[in-house]
Structure formats: C-alpha cells, structure tokens
A and B are shown apart, each in its own frame.
Chain A
Amino acid sequence: MIRAAFTTLLSHWRRHPLQLAGLFLGLALATALWSGVQAINAEARQSYDRAAAVLSQDRLDSLAAGNGQDFDQKVFLDLRHAGWLVSPVLEGRWSHRGVPVRILGVDPFTLPSGSLPDAVTGQDRATDFLSAEGLAFAAPQTVDELTRIGAEGLPPLVAAEGMAPGILFVDIGVAQRLLRAEGQITRLLVAPDQPLRQRPLSEVAPALVRQTPVEQADMGALTGSFHLNLTAFGFLSFAVGLFIVHSAIGLAFEQRRPIFRTLRALGLPLRTLVGLLAAEIMGFALVAGIAGIALGYVIAAGLLPNVAATLRGLYGATVSGGLSLRPEWALAGLGMALAGAGAAAAQSLWRLARMPVLAPAQPRAWTRASARSLGWQTGLAGLLALIALAAALWGEGLVAGFVLLGALLLSAALVLPGALAMALALGERLSKGVIAQWFWADTRQQLPGLSLALMALLLALSANIGVGTMVSSFRLAFTAWLDQRLPSELYVTARTEDEARRLADWLAPRSDALLPIWKIDGTILGRPGEVYGVADHRTYPDHWPMLLGDQTVWQTLARGEGAIVNEQLWRRAGLHLGDPVPLPGGATRPLVGVYADYGNTRGQVIVGVADLVALYPDIDRLRYAIRTDPAKVPALRDAIEDAFRLPQDHMISQQEVKTISLMVFERTFAVTAALNVLTMGVAGFAMFMSLLTLSTMRLPQLAPVWALGLTRGRLARLELLRALLLAALTMVLAVPVGLLLAWVLLAVINVEAFGWRLPMHLFPKDWLWLGALALVAAALAAAWPAWRLSRLAPVHLLKVFADER
C-alpha cells in the first residue's frame, strides 16, 4: 500500500517537471550560496589556526619587550642563567622579489618539547634542520612560489604539508641573517613547566612583559567581523533561496489535494501520508543539497582568491588561495538544505495534517489572501520593527548590529504585502477604465501568490541599495582621506641607519621638505598597535583634518605635550580629550586629537617625532616622506637609485600608494558585490518560478475575461505589465529600506566591526540603475509565462468552464 501511495504521490512531479525543477534549483541555489560562503570561512579559519599553531603560539605564554621591539639575545642567556626555561624566537617580514613571507626563526635546542609543528617533526629531514646551512620549512604552495621566483640566499626549501601558507620556518641563526637582525630576538617562549626556584622577571629582564596567548596578535579576532559579514550575506541568500522552495512546495501540496483526498478515502492513514510526504521532501533536499554543495564549491573557489587578497591587504592575514574540500562544511551545507526544506514544508505538512478527509479538493487557499494572514504578517512586522529599534537604542556589539539588521530586513519583507495591497487598492480606486479596474483588482488578488517572490526581490534590492550606499560612501570617504593622508609625493626607506642619514643629507637640498616617518610597534591597551612620530611641518596642519580637536594639536605634538590617536583606538578605549594615552613601555601623553584612519585594523598613536625618539631611543630611523613637485618624482627616484644603489622597491610614490590602497579597497568589496549579484539572480528566479506556477493556476481568473472579449495577446501584455508594476512598487519600498540598511551598516556595523564611522552619501543614480535592473528582471521573469498565455490554445481556457472542478 505504501509503495502504491508513494508512486501515486510522485507521479505529480512527472506531470509538472517545471515545478520539480524550481524546487530543485531553489534548494540547490540556497545551499550553494550558503555553503560557498561557509567554505570560504572554513578555509580562512583553518589558515589562521595553522598560523597560530606554528610554534604553539596559541598555547604558550611568551615574553616580549613592552614596546614591541626586538631585543638583544643576551637577555635570553640571562634568563636561562636565572633558571627560566625559555626559548628564543625571531620573527619578521621578509620579502623577496615582491613575494612577502613571514620568517619564523626558532632555537631547536631550547624549544619546549612538543611545540614544533607536526608538519616539521614529521619530516625525516628534521635533523638536517640543525645543520649549519639549515633547512627552511614552508607550506607546499609557498615553496612553489619561492622556487618559481628563484629563491637564492635561502636554505634548501622543504615542503611541509599542513603548514600555514606564507610562513618560512627556519633556525634562529638563519632568521637573524635573513632579517639582518644579528643577535636580536622578538620574543621568548615560556615552557609550561618551570623550575620552582627562579629569579623574578622584574629583576632579570625588567623590559620584558609576559603575555598570555590571548594577548598576542589574534587574526581570528581581527578578521572575525569580515567573516561575520560574509556569513550574514550567505544567510541572506539562503533565506531568499528558501522563498523559492517554500512556494514550490506549497504549490505542489495544493495541486495534489485531490490525490490526498482520494488516497485518504481509499484508506491510507493520515500519519502515513504525512510521513510519505516528509520522506519525499527530505529525499529532494538530499539530492538538491548535494548538487548545491558542488555548486557552492565552485562559487567558493571562484571567490576565494579575492577574499584571500582582501584579508592580506586589510589584515595582513595569509589565507591560501586554493580551496580544499572539507567534510565539515559539506555536512553543514547538507544539514542546512535539509533544515531549510523542512522549514519550508512545515506549514504545508501541518495544514495537511489538520485537513478533514473530504476537504474540497479544488486548489484554493493558495492564491487567496485571507485578510487575517495579512494582518498577522503586519503585526509581526511591527514587532520586528520594535526589536530593531530596541537593538538600535540599547544594543551593543556586533551581534546587536546584526540583530538590528536582520529584524529590519525581515520586518520590511513582512510589511511588503500589506503595503502593496494598499497601493493596489488605491490604484483601483483612482482608475477609470473597466480594464484598468480589473487589472488593479486582479493584481491585488494575485498578490498572495506572488508575495514570497516579491519579498525575496525586496530583500535583494534593499541589500543592494544598502551595501551599494555603504561601499560608495566608503569609497568617497576613503579617497578623500587618502588625499589628506598622503600629502607627500615620495616615500623612501633606507636599508641601514647610516644610509638613512646620508640619504637625508643628500635629499635636504633637493626637496621642499623631508619628513621622517618613524614608528614602533607595540601593545596599546592590550592589543597590537603602533606609535608614529610626526615632524613639525605645515604639511600636517594643511592636510590632516581632525575628527576631534583642532589644527593647533600639531604644535602641541611638536612640543611633546600630547598625542593624537586614530578613530578606532579612540572608540575602543572610550577616550576623551585630555585623558592619558598609554604608550608601549609605560609612558603616557594626554589625548589632544582624533583622526580618521580607514582600512587600518590596529590602534595608532601619533606623537611629535622628537618625543618619539626620546621615548624610544633605539627606534629604526629608516623611512622618510619627501615633499617635492610631483612632476619631479620620477627623476628624483632615478637619482636616488643612482646615488645610493637603493632598489626601486624601497621607494614608493604617492600615486602608487593610492593605487594600491584603492585596489585593496575594491577587492575588499568585490566579494560583497558578487554575492549581491547572486542574490539578485536568486530573487529574479524566485519571481520567475512564482509567475510560472501562478500562470497555470490563474486560468479560472483569466478565462472569463477572455471569453468576454479580451484577446490573449492583450491579456499577456497585461500580465507583463503587472510584473513590471509590482517590481516597480517593490523598488519604491526598497529605497527607504536600503537606506536604513546603509545607515545601520555605516553607523553601527562598521563602527563595531572596524572602529570607524563613515558619513553617508546618497547615490540616486545608482537607484535608477538598480530600478531598471529590477524591471528587466521582472520582465524576463514574466516574459515566458506571458508568451505562453498569448499562445495558449483556447481549449485550455474553455476547460475552465467545462471541467468538473
């Protein structure tokens, strides 16, 4: 009996292949977008974990200089004598022919046992590591990259599977040679088990501070907001995809009501029927989910290089550009597909379970709006709006920001049918002609069948407007800021202090001004940060506006009587003007100003350059900004190269910095833009599916009008017009929702995620474009059903009057 019933139920799909395709595609697309984003996140997270796990940095405490600088290895010997079980590490960036790598030098003799990466200990050549020449371990792709550019000067490279890309693991002696840091170390790893008797740290090495793993640069925390953004977008796409699934399942249930009735009348228990239908849906979800995961893999592989570039540019985090298939996210994607299909089918199943055996078999409820459900939806929308308001007023943190975002979008989606119904009723009242009146009334009646697709369209459109406004506002602020921030025409970095001095002397008569750019890295308020020194020169008051404080701050800095900080540090620390700003090493300076610093994830403090040198006497004095006539920059570069044999990559012009910065910026949002387009595509598809399925159910409404003398061609044109009208009305609502969204992104999410708040600008021309795009999408979605209607054989229309329904 069960088998017969099941084949009967399935026979529906053979007769409605398009519905089946819609269900399948909707599920597959939803799963694809979701799991694609998850794949990217999983890949990135794995890269961070690997990077953190090199040398067990994620587990061991370490000792580092309070000012974040490298220090003399003599301290290491002192500590060993004092009974400390510590092991030196030298770490630094090193670039070879434009390929940057992070060099990690360790001392294998003192390294706490078990803290070497498995990837290294697993190699048979591990012992060679200790030999004079040494070995360099790196991820296979890094080895390939370095081999390709010709890695002379490096020890023999060994590919170690499972190492984080972009890291070169060498003996500390080799690292000191490569980084030109003879006798220097960056930090000391502290073995977990220390002898009972040892002299306190403050006595042996007062300059060092002990850090727990959490305080060390944590890529996960820095990049978390970026991934949260991606996840939010993935979820939005998933939700939009589910709209398709929901409508396809709902339709299939309504159309099969006669079958259900017959099966029940013939003695199939209700529970069996519900079970069979649930099994059918889960079967579909399984198949579509697998297809979606495959598609998601393709999407992720396409997006990952951009994401990797963004993360490198923005956070200096290295993520491998290649995607590996991981069972975790594949399973998670499948889970989402099943859960999504279950959620989409729940309503239909529940309705079926409560349906009396002899409920009228004609498909009915689906297209008919009950005023009650409209009211219920609007009520829920109001509730969600209140939640959004509460999150905006009292919420804190990124999660509250996303709650606000989610509640806002969902509330707008739920308001849509009611708002459209009102607009259509108004249109009906205002229209004069009989066909116009029918058109409005009929559109209103079709609304319930289309509202899910229109909600999806609304979500996609407002996400587009919101994200577009944010990106464009950001771009405006960013380019303006770049112009202020990079007033100098050329930047040079000397190789040694001696060279730097000679360079400065040489440049002084050949430029308008020479501004030192010296900085130290260190921990500021518990997070990695940097301290810069600025010269007392009118370049700064002329170009750098303050968000807080006025242009007299530069004189204050020059006198060594204050510090200015970037916006993100200011927000994070909750500082006020006049508050002491703690500098690495323990000194403080009163806060006199705050400046914008987009694209930087670290806290930054600026003091006068003389002050900086006084605070940190052994600072590297290598870098200078040169003010000169922009037209003279190329000649000056060549002259420097000739006079000092300084390679071109030690000089960078203002123009190049701007180009690179803008490129990083564009790549950052390339992923967002791609997801935006995909979401629009899914929404268009949802609309197409709804129109197509409605077109078959609408014959009873169209047949009488046709019989009374409207040609099929005319009806088809009206159908097209209807889709355009609804899309246009949806667009009208999408603009305010999108702007609200943009505001949330700019004023809440950005502040929480990155620490800066951006001014909002409006781009009405973009809306026009988007509106046109929405209309094209609607026209495309409606074209095929309308064309079919115009060609429909009269017999099908006549059946409406003849069929026993």
Chain B
Amino acid sequence: MILSLTGVGKAYETGGTRVEVLRGVDLAIGPGETVALTGESGSGKSTLLHLCAGLDRADSGRIEVAGQDLTDAPDPRLSALRRQTVGLVFQQFNLIPSLDVAANLAFQARLAGRHDPDWIAALADRLGLSALMSRYPEQLSGGQQQRVAIGRALAIRPALLLADEPTGNLDEATGDAVMDLMLELGTEAGAGLLMVTHSPRLAARLGRRVHLAGGRLAA
C-alpha cells in the first residue's frame, strides 16, 4: 500500500468548543490507484488530505505513507517524507512567488536530490509550459499556475500524489485539460492519487470514489 489510514480521528479546538472533524477514517490506496474524495463543504476533506501529507498530525489512529508510520514521526522525518515521497497540489497559492517557472518546476526535485532535467523538460513540454519558463507566478494565469504546480509535484516521481481541488479555481475546459494531464502523467509514473473534488463529473473519471460525511468515509 502507498497510503493506509486506520481509525484516523482529528478535532479542532476553537474558542473552547471542540469540533470533531474526522472520527475514525479508514482508507487504503495502492500504487497506480486513483481515488476521488468528495464531501460537503466543511466536512473535513482538506483536513484529511493534510494529515496524509504529514502537514498536520492526527489525534488518533494510524497513517502510513509508503510504509512509513507518520503517527509519532518527528518533524524532520515528516519534512523528509514530503520532500521525497509526496507530490502536493493545492487549490491555489502553490508556487513560490520569488522564483520563476523553471525554478519552481525544479524546486522540489532539487530539494529531494532527484533533479532530472530531461524529465522536467519533458513535463514542461507536456504541460505546455516550455514558453513560460522564465516568467514569475504573478505573471501566469490560474490554469498555468496549476499546471506548474502539477509539474513540480510530478518532477519528483512521487509515490503518492495528493491534490486538493486542483481545478477548483479554473473554468471547466481548462480544468478538464489540467485533470487529463494529472491523471495521465500520474498513472504513467505509477503514483497513487488522492484527489479532493466537489465535482461528480471529475470524480467519475477516477478509479474509485469515497465520500466523507459525519467524519467517516463511505464508498
């Protein structure tokens, strides 16, 4: 398994009240498997995704990514995991504003010590970014920015690709194009994919679909 969750729980504390967002989530994703995560707004999808990426810690249960247990891993281990194993795409603000497209694309791969210029050039070509390499994020459209984010995540050939509404800010046609690229390149690389989406149409294009409600997953 690339990703396995057992009985994961998470609550937020705000102003004295405790909101239980996740109450025992179980999920397993294998290599090359693509899973859509749906649910109402505020149901905890982003929270779940963040836990899987080691960006935040679960209160209970167990999360394993590529065989590594995240439960008690120290901060440097989690950081290393994010560098090496996980590709992340958020809805927006993925890119590092001070670096140009080329540097953004290569950033994580170089952090991970797995910089492969040919692979990145190929990705840029496939993503249609070749002409934009020396631009800065603020000079790109939303769809272009998302394509850079996807390219950056794929540049490390991640074992696990996590995406939180990657096309939420894009129009339908652009969103579809970005989606195609992600699915195509992701599966080519053999990565497991967990993607949050609101759109049933997009969810249908993935291998499997899980629905988050009341803090638990249902198929």
Contact = CB atoms under 8 A, between A and B. Distances in A.
- A, B bound: yes
Given A798-B56, A801-B91, A444 B97 contact: no
B99 A800 contact: no
Interface stretch (A79-87, A514-522, A678-686, A701-709): A701-709
Contact of B55 (A705, A714, A798): A798
Interface string B132-159: 0000001000000000000010000000
B82 A713 contact: no
Interface in A378-418: none
A801 B107 contact: no
B90 A801 contact: yes
Given A713-B75, A798-B50, A802-B46, A705 B94 contact: no
B98 A801 contact: no
Most buried by A among B46, B50, B76, B138: B50
A710 B108 CA distance: 10
Contacts of B33: none
Most buried by A among B56, B80, B84, B138: B56
B94 A801 contact: yes
Given A433-B110, A798-B55, 19 more contacts: A368-B138, A434-B106, A434-B111, A437-B99, A437-B103, A438-B98, A438-B99, A438-B103, A441-B99, A442-B98, A445-B98, A707-B82, A707-B88, A708-B82, A709-B82, A711-B75, A794-B56, A798-B50, A801-B91
Interface in A422-459: 433-435, 437-438, 441-442, 444-445
Interface of A: 368, 433-435, 437-438, 441-442, 444-445, 700-701, 703-705, 707-714, 794-795, 797-798, 800-802, 805
A711 B79 CA distance: 6
Nearest to A446: B98
A437 B100 CA distance: 11
Contact of B94 (A704, A713, A794): A704
Given A438-B99, A438-B107, A801 B92 contact: yes
Contact of B111 (A701, A708, A712, A795): A708
A794 B53 CA distance: 12
24 contacts: A434-B107, A434-B115, A437-B99, A438-B98, A441-B103, A442-B96, A701-B97, A704-B94, A705-B96, A707-B90, A708-B108, A708-B111, A709-B81, A709-B82, A710-B79, A711-B79, A798-B46, A798-B50, A798-B56, A801-B90, A801-B91, A801-B92, A802-B91, A805-B93
Interface string B61-93: 000000000000001100111111000101111
A53 to B, nearest CB: 65
B98 A441 contact: yes
Contacts of A444: 98
B112 interface: yes
B96 A438 contact: yes
Contacts of A703: 93
Contact of A712 (B75, B91, B112): B75
A82 to B, nearest CB: 90
A445 B100 CA distance: 12
A797 B110 CA distance: 22
A204 B90 CA distance: 104
Given A434-B106, A801-B91, A801-B92, A710 B97 contact: no
Interface range, B side: 35 or more
Contacts of A802: 46, 90-91, 164
B8 interface: no
Given A434-B107, A434-B111, A709-B112, A704 B56 contact: no
A705 B82 CA distance: 11
A438 to B, nearest CB: 6
B95 interface: yes
Contacts of B55: 707, 794, 797-798
Contacts of B76: 711
Interface string B109-121: 0111001000000
Contacts of A713: 75
Nearest to B100: A441
Contacts of B112: 709
A709 B83 contact: yes
A435 B84 CA distance: 15
Nearest to A700: B93
B79 A700 contact: no
A708 B84 CA distance: 9
A593 B63 CA distance: 93
A435 B88 CA distance: 19
A710 B55 CA distance: 11
Contacts of A712: 75
A704 B50 contact: no
A712 B56 CA distance: 13
A805 B92 CA distance: 10
A711 B54 CA distance: 12
A701 B80 CA distance: 20
Most buried by A among B50, B56, B96: B96
Given A442-B98, A701-B96, A794-B56, A708 B103 contact: no
Contacts of A704: 93-96
Contacts of A705: 96
Nearest to A712: B75
Contacts of A805: 92-93
A433 B103 CA distance: 12
Contacts of A701: 96-98
Given A435-B111, A438-B98, A707 B80 contact: no
Most buried by B among A368, A713, A800, A801: A801
Contacts of A711: 75-76, 79
